Homo-oligomer: A and B are copies of this chain.
Amino acid sequence: MNTITKGVCAPAGFRAAAAAAGIKKPGATRLDCALIVTDRPAAVAGVFTTNRVFAAPVRYCREICRAGEARAIFANSGNANACTGEHGYEDVRETARLAAGLLDCAPEAVCVCSTGVIGVPMPMDRLAQGVRACVASLSDAGGGDAARAIMTTDTVPKEAAVDVAVDGGVARIGGMAKGAGMIAPNMATMLAFLTTDAHIRPEHLQPLLRAAADWSFNCICVDNDMSTNDTLLCLANGASGTGELLPGTDAYLRFGEALTSVCGDLARALVRDGEGATKFVEIEVDGAPDDALARQVAGSIARSQLCKTAFYGQDANWGRIACAAGYAGVAFDPERVNVHIQGICVLQQGRPTMYSEAEVQARMKEHDLKVRVELQSGSGRAVFWTSDLSVDYVKINADYRT
């Protein structure tokens, strides 16, 4: 597996484009429409928000993923098309029909995604201009612009791509994502699109995509809220000409790992760009009864408001870390727990060590922090990535709409 360039346009047969349609504000010149197109039908799989309150595009894309085939993903920023009722859903279908007409494919082959303000009707005239402008400028160098067009409070675009050896040659996987508050429902929130030229059926792609999401996007935290629009889509068009990826083969496993790797790169990029973040914190938990329970403990620490403020304060507060592990709902023996912060063991067998407070504090001045928790109650392991909770986070989110 090697890192490559060009994001969603890295795999063969994919083109992308972006346009400025003034979705949020008429006349604005900021890119706010993105289009990804495959030159042949592709298998499609998706993972979506589990929020009961979900946006119209989520409902629509779920249906497409059930059918399993797609030709394009159109996405806009500036308006989430959430809390917009049945009319919002009709707007999604209308957008798909328009794009399908221009791309000469079935409307049911065009995924439509939105991110931005909630509760505002989509400005369909301007959106239609965006669709037309995107179709007119599709190219195999358009991935970067597309990644930029879906940004909202993000400060940098997020792209990733790798190649991976499979039977009969090399397949490529590309990706782009947006999201800065892990979720800010008025700027509803995480979108991630993957492309690949591997040959794989949708029913075989879906479990790999879900597993990749579980160990990447589901292992990050900026704040703890879950968006109404969170969408992860993957198109697989087979243009690499390599052999079909079938469950139970080595190539299938390698491809799954590569998919997880691209998702992980994008997920970590979201945390690094987290609202108000001054730290990027990796939480590693091992010795849990199993991997899923390790993730549960790691997530509990990553989400803890008190741990996150301690990271911000550069405070080696092992008490808060042990405490958050303790209420994760996982059975372990507190008297066996070790905690390491920046490589220094601060808690051993449930009791504080004679560590040097000055030394730990000095190491916590670094931007990237590492917390390791050993539960010594099994062989389960997981890693979670989180940002700190800063004064700026509160300011950003308190003042968001004003």
The answer to whether B185 touches A320, judged by C-beta atoms less than 8 angstroms apart, is: yes
Q: A323's closest neighbor in chain B, by CB?
A: B185
Report if A331 contacts B (CB, 8 A): yes
State the CA gap A87–B401 with chains docked (Å).
53
State the CA gap A324–B352 with chains docked (Å).
37
- List, in ascending order, chain B residues with CB within 8 A of A325's CB: 52-53
Select the stretch in A94-102, A231-239, A240-248, A304-312 that faces chain B.
A304-312
State the CA gap A157–B187 with chains docked (Å).
41
The answer to whether A317 touches B401, judged by C-beta atoms less than 8 angstroms apart, is: yes
Known: A52-B326, A330-B52. A225 touches B305 (CB 8 A): yes
Select the stretch in A165-173, A204-212, A386-394 that faces chain B.
A386-394
Report if A41 contacts B (CB, 8 A): no
- Report A226 CB to chain B, min CB distance, Å: 4
State the CA gap A347–B335 with chains docked (Å).
49
- List, in ascending order, chain B residues with CB within 8 A of A50's CB: 327
CB contacts under 8 Å to B, within A118-173, are: 118-119
The answer to whether A332 touches B52, judged by C-beta atoms less than 8 angstroms apart, is: yes
Complex partner residue of A334 from B53, B223, B226, CB under 8 angstroms: B53
- List, in ascending order, chain B residues with CB within 8 A of A84's CB: 351
Q: How many copies of this chain?
A: 2
Known: A228-B326, A319-B186. A352 touches B83 (CB 8 A): yes
The answer to whether A51 touches B317, judged by C-beta atoms less than 8 angstroms apart, is: no
- List, in ascending order, chain B residues with CB within 8 A of A332's CB: 52
Q: A227's closest neighbor in chain B, by CB?
A: B323
- List, in ascending order, chain B residues with CB within 8 A of A317's CB: 186, 400-401
Can you report 26 residue pairs joining A to B where beta carbons are below 8 Å apart? Answer: A52-B325, A52-B330, A52-B334, A54-B326, A83-B322, A83-B347, A83-B350, A83-B352, A85-B351, A119-B351, A119-B352, A185-B319, A185-B322, A223-B305, A224-B305, A225-B324, A228-B323, A228-B326, A309-B397, A309-B398, A312-B394, A312-B398, A313-B398, A315-B398, A315-B399, A393-B394
